[in-house]
Amino acid sequence: MAFKRLDSLLSSRIFLRAVALGVALLVWFYVAGDQGSEVNKTLRLRVDYRNASPGFSVTHSVRDVQVRIAANRRLFETLELEKLSCEVDLKGLESGKYRLPARVLLPPGVRLVSVSPEQVTVELVRLIEKVLPIRIAWEGAFPDDALIESLTLTPSEVTVRGREDVLSILTEALVTPKAGETISDAESLLDVKLKTDKGTEAPGEVDLYPREVRLQAVMVKDVERKEVPIVASVTGTPEIGYRIEETVVTPATVQIVGASSSLEMVESLQTRPVDVSGLAQDKTVEVDPVLPEGQRVKLLGPVKINVSLVVRPIDNGTGFMRLKLPVKLEGKSVYPSWKSVPSTVSVQVGSASGGSSLPTLEDSIVEVYVDVTNLVSKKIVVPVQVRVNSKEIRVLKVEPERVTLHAMNP
């Protein structure tokens, strides 16, 4: 009987409805509880570098960061992940390098678990402008009969803009026209190049305006040649008791080319000044000739001028003469070479007969020397010796009478 009643209860509609309701409640509680649990997600977010002061360039080490966030499962279903952002605040920062935190901006209900890296390196550099004049650097050489009347660059300068540290090393802007193509009188469109203080090309992050300029060259039409003498230009005063007896210029003449009207105004060319201050012996120097200003002329080919100066002591009729002579080294030594300090001495000579005039003093008539034979000390004071190769001259005084010798290592 009990089994019949249990079977009747289990098969009754009321019991089955109660069981169905219980199962439904269990399923509902399971689903609701699962949706309310917290889950984690890992994302990569682009870093936004914000609030940099106007006029600054921003260089950074990180473009994006890896972020791990946690939120309710149901919240994740409605969350627009692509709108999440990460920022680095640069407000108020001046030029320099900084380590700054990466800040992730999250909506309410979303928790930040981790961010990698937590800090990023940022460098701020001021952006500036700089105006540079344009220099013409010709490629190749002009023909001998080609002479430029005028050159016009439009514009004659350029404006560059970029990082302060980059622009500080920019020294010039230049164009490189080909000389052989310029003589046609046609206008040329040329690219502008920027050079650093080391002669290298400027970095690519520099803005340049304009990038091209126009070059208009006007050539002289009536070009002729003319040969003119060279005159040495000398400045300064030789050593007391000496004079410049002769000046020899080699070559003595040069050829110039130019407009016929300009050539008529040029009778000779001077050299750049040769300084003879304190000179007491013959000397030869190499100098450039100087073209007259304002005249449309040029030298025919590269020319260097040798100016040879013949220096002689002055005979003032007193029978005395002061010579400044180099100290020569004679004899054999254990050291390869020596240096004399001072390297010259003053020798006063007079007429051996006591007269008021001296014979012509040619080279090597009076010589000053020291003997280094058997000297072993690396620094030693030795007496100066004078050799006179004329019976008509006698030595009156030597200053200084001793010099210091320094042994020179090979």
Residue 179: the pLDDT is: 80
Chain-centre distance for alpha carbon 47: 38
Residue 17: the pLDDT is: 67
What is this structure's pTM? 0.49
**Average pLDDT along the chain, 410 residues, taken 10 residues at a time:** 57 66 60 62 90 87 89 81 88 90 88 90 89 88 75 89 85 85 75 83 80 85 86 88 84 88 87 90 90 81 87 70 87 87 87 69 80 88 90 86 85
Residue 224: the pLDDT is: 84
Residue 296: the pLDDT is: 77
* Domains along the sequence of the chain with CATH: 38-117 (2.170.120.30), 127-219 (2.170.120.40), 223-313 (2.170.120.40), 320-408 (2.170.120.30)
Report how far residue 399's alpha carbon sits from residue 159's, in angstroms, rounded to the nearest whole number: 64
Residue 6: the pLDDT is: 56
Residue 349: the pLDDT is: 84
